[in-house]
Each structure stands twice: as structure tokens, then as C-alpha cells.
Structure 1
């Protein structure tokens, strides 16, 4: 029996507008954007329309919904092309829905989906100070492969953007090794927000 409490769905117009509002929320912007100044909402809606596209050979984008049917975040992958089959991945959990394991579960589902799409490697970019997100990825076999030095400024301090990468099969294998009898996710609260633009 699965312990998932989230599912992935096509993003509705209401979802896109919600994501656009979250993108301007300081609690989200601080962890995921280079600049925390509010952006025009309509531009954000279009941004998420691109990120949350229907599944294709080049990637996917979904709204994350909890067991009550509430939209709690979004996950997207892009840039998949032959022959490299490399993917970039992003995840955002809304400000009121963090620390419930939703991001961790959505990440697990996305990793399985990418493995099924025969992706070779998966890359994520995380602000260096977002230790919880980094830990979540490292638990799944992601390793640091590069840094964009002092790319983000917060309160007059500069921070790096860390690039983490894993083989798709290795990431799924890391999930399996955590619990070889049930590959469903364990509910461990984490702050699961990242996407540095």
C-alpha cells in the first residue's frame, strides 16, 4: 500500500495564478530566486505556463495536489533531448504547505517518471544556503558538480548557487535502498523549495 499523500496533475489556470502569487511571496522568493523584488503577476503566470507544460519527450510540468485535492506546489523537468537525455528539474512547494513532506514525495514521483523517460542524468540548482533542499537531493544520490560563485545576494551577503547532479537510475536506486520492501515515500518534513532563475 502506498504512503503517498500527493499526486501530480495538469496545472489549471487557477494553479498558474497561484504559482505566480507564490513566486512573489518573500518566503518563496528568498529560497528560489536571485532577486526577491515582486515581478508582474501576468509575467509570472506566463512563466509558469511554460514551466508547467504537458508531458512531452522534452520534459513535463505538473501541479502537486495533496490528499484533500489542494494544490500545494509544482514540479517540472525540461531540456531532455537525444542523444544526451539530460534533464533539469525544479520543485516549488507553497508557503503554507511546507514541512509536510509534499516536496519529498513529489520529487520521488518525478525521479521515477524521469527514469521511465530513459533520462540519463538529472540536474538541479539550489541556493547554497538552502541546506534542507540540498540534503533532500543528496539523500537521493545527487552530488555537487559545480557552483556559480556569489550569484545571490541576501541582506548584503553573497551566496553561491550549487549545481547538483545524479544519474536517473542512481537516484531511483537511492530511493529503493532507503526501503527495499516498499518504494513509497517516507514522510519526513523538509522545506522543499528550489528553482534559481
Structure 2
């Protein structure tokens, strides 16, 4: 980091190799709300697959993306789009929240639109959000969770360096059965060792 100026660091803070994290735009809301209410995505993220009213789901994304406190941050994920990378396709949303100033653990949640899954956008956006959480939000730890049946997410999180910290047994009921919630975390020291300063 010694060779990087503060301005260069800040300019690249929200950019990955495939994605850029940018502020929520009003035109993002219909697609994000549609994805949130897509039962195929809902089963991976929520306790229920029931659709909620569009105005309510849009308000969730507005709240998650206010960025008016150092305890939380939320962004639309867009694909890199040439020179003006913020003009790429909307591919998802990511948020970090719950930063208690004493414990400094940020919880992360990510949603990638169905047609963009399996193309590396999720992993790239998570690496960017790790940088934001540890280098700008002053997190000591970043945590996330997923259901035990979400094997793709578990493989991705582990490949990024997240360590399984625990399991909440029978935490969700889908498809006539109970499933565990897997809790994973990464400490700042683990981030520094894996991704450098």
C-alpha cells in the first residue's frame, strides 16, 4: 500500500475485476425487487419463499443502501462496462450491516440475479465488499450465513477464505423438511494474510 496514494486507493475501493459496487439508483429497484420475490432465489436467502409487495421489497433495498452510517453499507453490483464501469449491467446487490463499535463484526448478504449466477460476479463482489468492510468500515470480522442445502454458496464462501464457525440446527423449513443455517466468518488478520494490505 506504500506505493499507492490515498486517492488511488479510494478510486479503486469499490472496483473489482468483474464488478463495481455503486450506490442504488431508482431504476435498479424493479429488477432487485423482482429477484427478491423470485421463489428460486428466495429459497436461498429467506425463511419464506412468499412474495412480498413490490413497494415493501423496494423499501428494503432503499434501507439497505442508505450508506448514512459507518455501521452499515449497501450497494448495487454492476458488471464492469469499459471506461465508465458504473454503466455496466445490474447483476445484484450486496450489503454489510450490524457493526457494533466494540465487537466490529460486519454481517454480509449478497444476491446475484439468476442470469448472472455462475459467472464469477458473486465472488468478485464479495472480495470488493471484504475490502470495504476491513479497509474502510474498520471491521475486525466479517460474517455471513447460508442454508446447508446451498452448496454453491458454501463452496464460494470457503474458496474466498471464510471459515465455518457454527451451525444453527433446523433453522429453516423448506420442501417439507428442516435445514441447518451455516455461519461462516473471516477475521481481519485472515483477510490481510490472504489478500494483502
CA contact (8 A) 1:111 1:168 kept: no
Determine whether 1:162 maps to 2:175: no
CA contact (8 A) 1:17 1:45 kept: yes
Which residue pairs with 2:121 in the alignment? 102
1:97-153 CA-to-partner distances (Å, cap 9, x unmatched) read 111100000000011111112210111011111111112111222222222221222
Unaligned runs of 5+ in 1: 177-182, 184-197
Q: Secondary structure at the match of 1:161?
A: strand
Determine whether 1:79 maps to 2:111: no
Which residue pairs with 2:54 in the alignment? 41
Determine whether 1:63 maps to 2:83: no
> TM-score, normalization: structure 2?
0.82
| 1-structure distance, mates of 2:61, 2:142 | 20
Q: Secondary structure at the match of 2:115?
A: coil
> TM-score, normalization: structure 1?
0.82
1:9-42 CA-to-partner distances (Å, cap 9, x unmatched) read 1011121232111011122112111111111111
Which residue pairs with 1:190 in the alignment? none
| CA 1:174–1:150: 2 relative to 1, 3 Å | same
- Paired residues, what number? 176
Determine whether 1:89 maps to 2:108: yes
Q: Which has the larger radius of gyration?
A: 2
Unaligned runs of 5+ in 2: 1-14, 82-87
Q: Secondary structure at the match of 1:81?
A: coil
| 2-structure distance, mates of 1:85, 1:97 | 31
1:5-154 to 2 correspondence within 5 Å? Answer: 5-54=18-67, 56-68=69-81, 69-116=88-135, 117-154=137-174
CA contact (8 A) 1:7 1:66 kept: yes
1:51-109 CA-to-partner distances (Å, cap 9, x unmatched) read 12226311210000012411100111011131211111111101111111000000000
Q: Which is helix-richer, 1 or 2?
A: 2
RMSD: 1.9
Select the structure with the greater relative contact order (CA < 8 A; seq sep ≥ 6): 1
